[in-house]
Chain A
Amino acid sequence: MGIVPVFDPTTGASGGPAPAAGGGIDPDPAGTPINLNDGSWTLYDPLSMVQSVAYDSGTNQNLITLNAAGPTNDLVWTATSATHSGARWYRALSIDGVAMTTDDPITGIYTFGPDHAVTDYNSGGVCGICEDPTTTVTADIRGTGAGFIYFGGGNIQNAVWTNNNATFESSNALNRYARLVNFFGPSKARYVAASTFDASGNLRNALQRDANLTLTASVPVYEIVGIGTRTGADTITLNDQIALFAWSTFLRQVGA
């Protein structure tokens, strides 16, 4: 029989230990934690935003220290902008050792959110899959997945990201992170759906959006993690930090 904590060791309150402060990300998400420092990711940073990345293997936090950038709408990954120039990490997507292309029926599963305790600037980010991570031309990136915007120290709004559009949950102090699924290929990127959660893992909102992106045939698919600002009016100052938690896993769902 396992030992179940009955009281919070700090406060004595019933119900066991209180959730860890700060990130508020469910400690048991599906998939593999994304470690931007593990050598598998390549950084494409057209504005030289990124100074360094530190990964905490205990919390799975990616803490990124930045150079000054913005304000520009091009740093808002979820905005309707012809150019997306925010820094992004990418790697070719493979499933069971097989490189995926836009001809494959890929299902992506994510847990994604910022660390609420890191409040340096009004930030934004995305985590998903795309067709071309090495361009700033939004129409050519063709990326979908999870997104967020965060008013530093205030409210987080999680989103379903569909390249140059997005649907966010309404702003609320309890918002922390999202669990998402997206469908990418063959030939089109379609629905992204999400449930969002508070710091204790309680369900909050539901989101969905049809990316309806026509993909280029037979080209590689890449995982992508992008960072930027909350709005086109927000600025990153020298040495500002952003912290992300991200887990992902991918399926290739073959039809009958």
Chain B
Amino acid sequence: MVADQTQILPAFVIAEDQHGDPVAIDGIVIPVIIDNDEIEGLLDAYDPAASASPTAADSRVIARVVMDSLKRYIEGA
């Protein structure tokens, strides 16, 4: 899983969120690319009804992709 650092876009976006709810957010769009080989494993380990899911290990991987990308963009690296 990686972020496409070359395609980050500051924008005001009117769209639907991951639950299908309408959103209007002024922020930064970061495209995240999930390798096809990762998808099955991630979804098998994820239970949306369990508050402790995804695992801490998976959460950290996902969060660090977003945080590293956001930090690099904001700092202009």
A residues whose Cβ falls under 8 Å from a Cβ of B: 78-80, 157, 165-171, 205-208
Contacts and interface: CB of A to CB of B under 8 A. Distances in A.
Interface string B16-45: 100000111010010000000000000000
Interface residues of B, number: 13
Contacts of A80: 14-16, 22-24
Given A80-B22, A170-B26, A165 B12 contact: no
B10 interface: yes
A182 B70 CA distance: 29
B74 to A, nearest CB: 14
A170 B22 contact: no
B13 interface: yes
A171 B10 CA distance: 10
Contacts of B26: 170-171
A165 B15 contact: yes
B15 A171 contact: no
Nearest to A78: B14
Contacts of A165: 13-16
Contacts, number: 41
B52 interface: no
Contacts of A169: 10-12
8 contacts: A80-B14, A157-B12, A167-B9, A167-B13, A167-B15, A168-B13, A168-B14, A170-B11
Interface of B: 9-16, 22-24, 26, 29
A206 B12 contact: no
A121 B19 CA distance: 34
Nearest to B13: A167
Contacts of A167: 9, 11-15, 29
B30 to A, nearest CB: 14
Nearest to A207: B11
A206 B9 CA distance: 8
Which A-B residue pairs are the 5 nearest by beta carbons?
A80-B22, A168-B12, A165-B15, A170-B10, A166-B14
A166 B29 CA distance: 13
A79 B14 contact: yes
B22 A168 contact: no
A78 B9 CA distance: 18
